[in-house]
Structure 1
Amino acid sequence: MTRIDFHLNVSDHLLYTCRLIRKAYGSGLKIVCYSTRPEVLENLDKLLWTFSEEDFLPHVVTGHPGVADTPIVLTDKADDIAHYDLLINLDEQWPPFFARFERLVEIVGTDEDNKALARQRYKFYKERGYPLNTFDRANS
């Protein structure tokens, strides 16, 4: 069953996502970042190339021929995604394919609209019996 972690009070979603990706990739995990908003994936793609001068984070956007061989995939769908360990949700809704992953990370911002949407996702997962963890990142 997928373990779901909510990271709360994140001030910069994309920068925080890059840090999560770096840590997970360093642990040998295969990672998918999901959003139905193209601008989110485009901005994350750009940021991953410039995020760290010391770390190379090999990634592609779905549709790229190297998807099957790349440990970090940015996607708006699950059609061409093989087995990956970690799903990072950057969307406002729950990803319909999340149960295929060992772990899901939900990143929750500081504004009330974002928190309200996250509460809906939390309720959705809880009602279905998924193990939930919360981490307050207000001071990190």
Structure 2
Amino acid sequence: MTEIAFHFNVPDKLAYGCRLLRKAYLSGASVVVTAEADVLAQLDQSLWSFSPTEFVPHCRSDAGEDNLAVTPVLLAESLQDCARHEVLVNLGQGIPAGFERFERFIEVVAQGDDERLAARSRWKHYTDRGYTMKRHDLATAKGGA
């Protein structure tokens, strides 16, 4: 069964996402990031510039078969054609269709009221289906990804 973790109270979702993806990449994991198109475009730009010495190889899901076969980090609005990836990161507001195919699933939740409300709905959806949830509250933790 998919291991689901919520990372709450993230002050800057894109910066946190970049650090999380760098950590996953350095550990050798293959990752899919899902969100709305505008969020993925911003993340794409952020990954190119967030750390001048530690590039995280990534591409969009429409990058072509050759790129998709070798990239460790895939940015995708839909999980329909995503294969071989172990970790799913959701930076969006919805429940990604097909999340249960991944070994690990990380929900990243910013500090805004709209984010919290959407996250509560997703949390309930997963727990109603029997998933065990892990909670990482950045407001009470030091540091982060």
TM bucket normalised to smaller: over 0.9
Deviations 1:102-124 (A, max 9, x none): 01100111111110110000000
Q: Unaligned 5+ residue runs, structure 2?
A: none
Aligned-partner Cα distance in 1 for 2:81–2:69: 8
- Does the aligned pair in 1 maintain the 2:30–2:85 contact within 8 Å? yes
Counterparts of 1:1-140 in structure 2 under 5 Å? 1-35=1-35, 37-65=36-64, 66-138=67-139, 139-140=142-143
- Does the aligned pair in 1 maintain the 2:79–2:96 contact within 8 Å? no
Deviations 1:59-86 (A, max 9, x none): 0001111112111000011232111111
How many residue pairs match? The answer is 139
3-state SS of paired residue (1:9): strand
- Does the aligned pair in 2 maintain the 1:34–1:75 contact within 8 Å? yes
2:77 partner letter: D
- Does the aligned pair in 2 maintain the 1:41–1:75 contact within 8 Å? yes
Aligned-partner Cα distance in 2 for 1:113–1:40: 15
Aligned-partner Cα distance in 2 for 1:105–1:116: 17
> What percentage of aligned pairs have identical amino acids?
42
Structure 1 consecutive aligned stretches of length 4 or more whose deviation exceeds 3 Å = none
Deviations 1:17-39 (A, max 9, x none): 0000011111110000001x211
Farther off after superposition, 72-81 or 23-32: 72-81
3-state SS of paired residue (2:4): strand
Q: CA RMSD in A?
A: 1.0
